[in-house]
C-alpha cells in the first residue's frame, strides 16, 4: 500500500572501504559489498570490473581504518552535553587564526571543543550578516533553518537573538522541524519571485556531512544559493573585527522575545507540494517503484514521509531516528562518524541490506545531515559513484525535459569526471566547467542558462520542467527522486544506464587522494601555476592543457589541472578541512591512473615541501 512505512534501524557492516585505485582495500571492498554487481548482475551494467565498481570511493594516502564500515561503538560517540557546554563557555582567541571566523566552500565550520564554533562566532557572524544585507539593500525577511547536529540548535537560537535585536524578521519552521538546505533555498526563491524589492535571504545552520562534534553556519543571499567569496569575505572580516572588539557592537535580545518577533513558515509543505514541477512524481507513483530512503539521521527525516504520503509513493523511511551522537551510523573510511551518503563505509548498512536482499528496494537513497547531497543505491549496481550518477542524470534529463531550450548548458566542476564531457558532447549541448563550489552554478540556474549543475562530491540541482529555477543550492532530495523517475520512465536503473554510457564513451577510473596540509602548505598549493609543471607528457600521453582557471567562466581554480586525451589530474587545497586533495582520472584503467597519481604527487610535493 502506498504511503509512509517506517523501517527498522540498520546496523549491519559492509566491510572495509577502498583507499587506492588498485590496492588490497579496493579488492576487499569489492568482494564484500559489490559481489552482486560483479558476479550475479555483471551483465546488467556493461561488465564493469571490480576495480571500477570500487573506484568511486574517496581514497586517502593511508590505509582505511580497520573498523571502517563497522557500526559505531560507545567510544566513537560524542558527549553531547560537553559539546553544547563548550559552545557557551569556551571563548575563541581572536588573534588565533584557527579560532577566527573563516568561510570555506560551504560556510564557517568548526567544533566548539576547539574554540572554532562557539557562541561568540555565531553572534559576531550574524551581526556581520545583518550589516552586510543592509549594505546590499536586502530588506525582506531572512529564512533560517538548521540540521540535526548537536551545535545547530544553540547556534540557531543565538542567531535569532541577534536577528531580532536588529529588527530582521526571521522566518522559522512552523512546526519547529529540521530544515534541509534545499528547502531554505526553495523558500528564498519562492518569496522573491516577482518582487521588485524587499527581497529575502537566508541562513542554514549546518556543517553538512561533517562529524557530530562539528557545527556549521552558511549564508544564502537573495539569489538563494551559496554566497560568493566577495560576500563571505566581507562577512568574515567584519565578524572577526567584532570578535577582536569584544562583541560590543553586537545587538542581542533574549531568545523568548526573539521568538515572538519571528514569523512561521511551513518549509516542508511548500517544498513537498512543489515537487511535481521538478520531478515526474506521477511516473514514480504509477509504476509503484519501491524506494528505501535513508535520511542518515539528518534534516530530511520528516520530508521523506511527507513526500510518500502526498505523492502516493511506495517509500520506506529506512531509519527515522534522529540522534545527535549518530550512534546508528557505520564508521567512515578514516574511522570517524560522518554522514557522507557518497561513502560506501558511511552507507554500509544500506549497502548490506541491498546486497543481501536485492529485492528489498528497487531504488535506495541516502542524504547527508542537511540533505544537500545524495547517494544512490541499486540492487544491480550497489552505491553509484557520484560522477557516474551525474553523467546518468545529465544524459536522462536533457532527453526528457522538452521545455528546456536547446541552448540550455550543462554545468560541472573542474574535478568532476570527464565522462560528463563526453556525454555532454554526445548530447550536442554546451559544457560550462567551473571551479569547485556550487556557488559557480547560481547565476546559470537562476536565469535558466544552465539546466543542471553538479559536483563530484554528490551535490547537484536542476531546473523545473518548464526550464525555470528550482533551487540555486544543492538538492539531495530531488536527485534521489530522479533516480526513481529514471527507473519508472525508462525501465532501467541508473546503474544500468551508466553501463550503457560506459560502453559508448569508455569507463573511466577516478580517485581522490586526501592528505594532511597546514594553512601555509594549503596557501602555497592554491598559488600553484602552470609554469611549475615543466613536463610535456603525463603518464605516457601528451599534455593537452595546464589550467589554473576554469574554462567555463575564467575563475581561478585555486590549484592546477593538467589534462591529456585520456586522463587528467587536479590538485587543490580543501576549503573546509586541513587537507589537500589530488583528483585524478584515467580512461585507460587503474594502472594508468596510478601513474597519473604519482606524477601529481611529485608536482604537489615540490610545491608544499
373 vs 388: CA distance, rounded Å: 15
Q: How much is the CA Rg of the chain, to the nearest whole Å?
A: 23
Alpha-helical regions (H) of 67-214: 80-89, 119-135, 152-165, 181-192
Residues 241, 370 within the same domain: no
108 and 180 in a single domain? The answer is yes
Assess whether 276 and 259 both reside in one domain: no
- Residue 8, in any domain of the structure: no
Residues 438 and 304 in one domain: yes
Among 221, 243, 265, which residue terminates a domain? 265
pLDDT value at residue 532: 84
**447 occurs within a structural domain:** yes
Does 46 reside within a domain? Answer: no
The answer to whether residue 61 is domain-embedded is no
Domain ends where: 265, 295, 321? 265
Tell me the pLDDT tens digit for each residue of 95-153.
999 999 999 877 999 999 999 999 999 999 999 999 999 999 999 999 999 999 999 99
Residue 312 and residue 420 share a domain:
yes
Sign of the Cα torsion 234, 239, 241, 242 reads positive
Whether residue 2 is contained in a domain is answered as no
Do 448 and 465 share a domain, yes or no?
yes
Q: Is it the case that residue 322 has pLDDT exceeding 90?
A: yes
- Domain identity same for 186 and 259: yes
Handedness of CA 470, 471, 477, 479 (dihedral sign): positive
Higher pLDDT pick, 210 / 606: 210
Q: Is residue 514 one of the residues assigned to a domain?
A: yes
Active-site residue set: 208
Give the residue, 574 or 234, on which the prediction is more confident.
Answer: 234
Q: Are residues 490 and 377 in the same domain?
A: yes
Chosen domain end from 459, 483, 505: 505
Distance from C-alpha of 264 to C-alpha of 424, rounded to nearest angstrom? 43
Please tell me the predicted confidence (pLDDT) of residue 16: 32
| 479 and 335 fall within a common domain | yes
Distance CA 377, CA 342 (A): 10
Q: How many domains does the chain have?
A: 3
CATH number at residue 544: 3.30.310.50
In a domain? residue 18: no
pLDDT at 4: 33
Domain identity same for 209 and 303: no
Residues 320 and 469 in one domain: yes
Residues 113 and 203 in one domain: yes
pLDDT in tens, 16-58: 333 333 233 333 333 333 333 333 333 333 333 333 333 333 3
Burial of 339 (0-12, 13-18, 19+ CB in 10 A): buried
Query: Would residue 253 be called left, alpha or beta, if left means φ above 0 and alpha means ψ between -120 and 50 degrees?
Result: beta
Structural domain containing residue 358: 271-505
* Percent of the chain whose pLDDT exceeds 70: 89
- Inside any domain, residue 62: no
Tell me the CATH number at 355: 3.40.120.10
Amino acid at each position: 500500500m502506498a504511503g509512509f512505512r517506517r523501517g527498522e534501524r540498520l546496523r549491519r557492516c559492509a566491510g572495509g572501504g577502498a583507499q587506492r585505485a588498485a590496492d588490497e582495500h579496493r579488492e576487499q571492498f569489492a568482494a564484500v559489498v559489490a559481489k552482486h554487481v560483479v558476479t550475479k548482475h555483471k551483465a546488467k551494467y556493461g561488465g564493469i570490473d571490480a576495480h571500477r565498481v570500487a573506484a568511486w570511493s574517496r581514497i586517502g594516502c593511508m590505509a582505511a581504518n580497520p573498523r571502517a564500515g563497522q557500526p559505531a561503538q560507545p567510544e566513537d560517540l560524542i558527549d553531547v552535553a560537553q559539546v553544547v557546554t563548550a559552545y557557551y563557555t569556551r571563548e575563541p582567541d581572536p588573534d588565533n587564526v584557527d579560532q577566527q571566523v573563516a568561510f570555506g566552500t560551504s560556510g564557517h565550520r568548526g567544533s566548539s571543543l576547539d574554540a572554532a564554533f562557539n557562541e561568540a562566532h555565531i553572534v559576531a557572524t550574524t551581526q556581520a550578516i545583518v550589516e552586510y544585507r543592509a549594505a546590499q539593500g536586502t530588506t525582506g525577511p531572512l529564512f533560517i533553518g538548521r540540521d540535526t547536529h548537536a551545535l545547530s540548535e544553540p547556534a540557531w537560537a543565538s542567531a535569532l537573538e541577534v536577528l531580532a535585536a536588529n529588527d530582521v524578521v526571521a522566518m522559522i519552521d512552523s512546526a519547529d522541524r529540521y530544515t534541509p538546505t534545499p528547502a531554505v533555498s526553495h523558500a528564498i526563491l519562492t518569496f522573491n519571485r516577482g518582487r521588485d524589492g524587499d527581497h529575502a535571504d537566508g541562513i542554514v545552520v549546518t556543517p553538512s556531512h561533517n562529524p557530530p562534534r562539528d557545527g556549521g553556519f552558511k549564508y544564502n543571499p537573495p539569489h538563494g544559493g551559496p554566497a560568493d567569496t566577495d560576500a563571505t569575505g566581507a562577512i568574515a572580516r567584519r565578524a572577526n573585527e567584532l570578535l577582536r572588539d569584544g562583541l560590543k557592537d553586537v545587538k542581542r535580545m533574549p531568545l523568548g522575545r526573539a521568538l515572538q518577533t519571528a514569523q512561521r513558515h511551513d518549509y516542508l509543505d511548500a517544498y513537498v507540494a512543489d515537487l511535481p514541477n521538478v520531478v515526474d512524481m506521477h511516473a514514480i507513483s504509477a509504476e509503484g517503484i519501491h524506494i528505501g530512503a535513508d535520511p542518515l539521521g539528518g534534516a530530511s527525516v520528516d520530508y521523506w514521509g511527507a513526500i510518500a504520503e502526498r505523492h502516493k509513493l511506495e517509500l520506506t523511511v529506512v531509519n527515522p531516528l534522529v540522534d545527535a551522537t549518530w550512534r546508528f551510523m557505520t564508521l567512515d573510511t578514516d574511522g570517524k562518524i560522518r554522514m557522507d551518503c557518497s561513502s560506501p563505509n558511511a552507507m554500509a548498512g544500506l549497502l548490506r541490506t541491498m546486497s543481501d536482499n536485492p529485492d528489498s528496494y528497487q531504488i535506495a537513497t541516502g542524504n547527508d545531515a542537511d540533505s544537500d547531497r545524495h547517494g544512490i543505491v541499486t540492487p544491480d549496481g550497489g552505491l553509484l559513484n557520484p560522477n557516474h550518477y551525474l553523467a546518468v542524470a545529465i544524459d536522462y534529463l536533457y532527453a526528457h525535459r522538452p521545455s528546456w531550450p536547446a541552448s540550455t548548458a550543462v554545468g560541472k566542476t573542474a574535478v568532476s569526471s570527464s565522462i560528463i564531457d563526453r556525454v555532454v558532447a554526445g548530447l550536442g549541448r554546451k559544457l560550462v566547467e567551473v571551479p569547485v563550489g556550487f556557488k559557480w552554478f547560481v547565476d546559470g540556474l537562476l536565469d535558466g542558462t544552465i539546466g543542471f549543475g553538479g559536483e563530484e562530491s554528490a551535490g547537484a540541482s536542476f531546473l523545473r520542467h518548464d526550464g525555470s529555477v528550482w533551487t540555486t543550492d544543492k538538492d539531495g532530495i530531488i536527485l534521489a527522486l530522479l533516480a526513481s523517475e529514471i527507473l519508472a520512465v525508462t525501465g532501467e536503473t541508473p546503474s544500468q544506464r551508466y553501463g550503457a554510457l560506459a560502453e559508448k564513451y569508455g569507463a573511466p577510473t577516478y580517485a581522490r587522494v586526501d592528505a594532511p596540509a597546514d594553512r601555509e602548505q594549503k596557501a602555497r598549493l592554491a598559488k600553484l601555476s602552470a609554469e611549475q609543471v615543466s613536463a610535456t607528457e603525463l603518464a605516457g600521453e601528451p599534455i593537452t592543457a595546464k589550467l589554473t582557471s576554469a574554462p567555463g567562466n575564467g575563475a581561478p581554480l585555486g590549484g592546477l589541472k593538467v589534462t591529456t586525451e585520456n586522463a587528467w589530474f587536479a590538485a587543490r587545497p580543501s576549503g573546509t578541512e586541513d587537507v589537500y586533495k589530488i583528483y585524478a582520472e584515467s580512461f585507460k584503467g587503474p594502472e594508468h591512473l596510478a601513474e597519473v597519481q604519482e606524477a601529481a604527487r611529485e608536482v604537489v610535493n615540490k610545491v608544499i615541501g
